[in-house]
Amino acid sequence: MSSTKTLPGGLTAAMPLVFVLLWSTGFIGAKFGLPYAEPFTFLTIRFIATLALLVPIVLLTRSAWPRGLRLWGHVAVSGCLVHGAYLGGVFYAISLGMPAGLASLLVGLQPLLTAALAGPLLGERLTPVQWLGLVMGLAGVSLVLGGKMDLTALSFDGFGWPALACTLVALLGIALGTLYQKRFCTGMPLLGGSVVQYLGALALLGGGCLLLESREVEWTLTFVLTLGWLVLVLSIAAILLLMLLIKRGEASRVASLFYLVPPVTAVEAWWLFDEGLPALSLAGMVIAIAGVALTIRAKRGR
């Protein structure tokens, strides 16, 4: 079928939510697969497998490629940020003990940081509602981290400052990558552009894999199934679904639902890994998510 108009109305309306639900499983996949491979090695294998499937899809569908070497370079740089720095930071943080739900919440602040950076970098001004969302997001995260803080050791319950630093690198990577893509990659075809982005991320994390890790992998059934899910469902199916949503003009609905990723991930992590949050952290998560929701909706209304 070439159009979703033939699908039942309820199924079509649910597609943005399905996309966000699929996206939330990326953090769970990291938690499942990292016991069997180091983070950069894991991601290098993932990107190679993704490209092996995605390139033939681009060729068979005769999808467009970025036009000109200059745009190729810009798209590759955006890929280093939105896939390389983002996923590399998240996977490394989780490998150091960062709970999947907390990692999802911290990088889920991306709309807040993007809005804050858009002023000095793109000349965009924050609206009063976005300022309110930013303050709520910072207050919420402070409560979340405060609830996980071990004051006697000046560290956190189950993870340390290096894991938090890696998560902040991921947050900065996705925020800067979003702004960079908006500034330099306008007109980028989604499917062909995704290939170039993955190539950029592969160059970055492949280098990290060669220089910093042993590259040893335990090819267990759990690892293979996790890798298959991350490649087929997240890196391939989610992108194709996003293409379909953009074609239907519903990409904004996906953006408006992205603040649901952290609570969904937290529930999944609690169910699968018994990851819990104290009451103070749960309250902080609610406040932070409300701040992100305010920022996203204020941006849509502009």
| Predicted confidence (pLDDT) at residue 296 exceeds the cutoff of 90 | no
Confidence of residue 262 (pLDDT cuts 50, 70, 90): confident
134, 126 contact by CB (below 8 A): yes
What average pLDDT does the segment 4-27 reach? 72
- Give 107 or 281, the one with higher predicted confidence: 107
> Worst-scoring range by mean pLDDT, 9-18, 211-220, 233-242?
9-18
What average pLDDT does the segment 250-279 reach? 79
Helix (H) or strand (E) holding 150: strand 149-150
The pLDDT assigned to 59 comes to: 95
Confidence of residue 23 (pLDDT cuts 50, 70, 90): confident
51 to each of 37, 193, 202, 247, how far by Cα in Å? 20, 12, 10, 23
CA 299, CA 126: separation in Å to the nearest integer? 9
Helix (H, G, I), strand (E, B) or coil at 67: coil
| Predicted confidence (pLDDT) at residue 147 exceeds the cutoff of 80 | no
Please report, as a single letter, which amino acid is at residue 82.
V
pTM of the complete model: 0.86
Confidence of residue 266 (pLDDT cuts 50, 70, 90): confident
The pLDDT assigned to 192 comes to: 93
CA 246, CA 190: separation in Å to the nearest integer? 10
- Which tens digits make up the pLDDT trace of 177-206? 888 988 898 888 888 999 999 999 999 999
Beta-carbon contacts of 41 under 8 Å, excluding residues fewer than 6 positions away, are 209, 213, 214, 215, 216, 217
Rounded to the nearest integer, the mean pLDDT of the chain is 85
- Give 145 or 203, the one with higher predicted confidence: 203
The pLDDT assigned to 2 comes to: 41
Q: Which residues does residue 37 pair with via DSSP β-bridges, in sequence order?
A: 217
- Give 143 or 251, the one with higher predicted confidence: 143
Confidence of residue 294 (pLDDT cuts 50, 70, 90): confident
| Predicted confidence (pLDDT) at residue 60 exceeds the cutoff of 70 | yes
> Worst-scoring range by mean pLDDT, 58-72, 105-119, 146-160, 203-217?
146-160
| Predicted confidence (pLDDT) at residue 157 exceeds the cutoff of 80 | no
Helix (H) or strand (E) holding 184: helix 161-184
Confidence of residue 27 (pLDDT cuts 50, 70, 90): very high
The pLDDT assigned to 240 comes to: 79
| Predicted confidence (pLDDT) at residue 138 exceeds the cutoff of 50 | yes
Q: Where are the domains of the chain?
A: 17-301
What average pLDDT does the segment 111-137 reach? 80
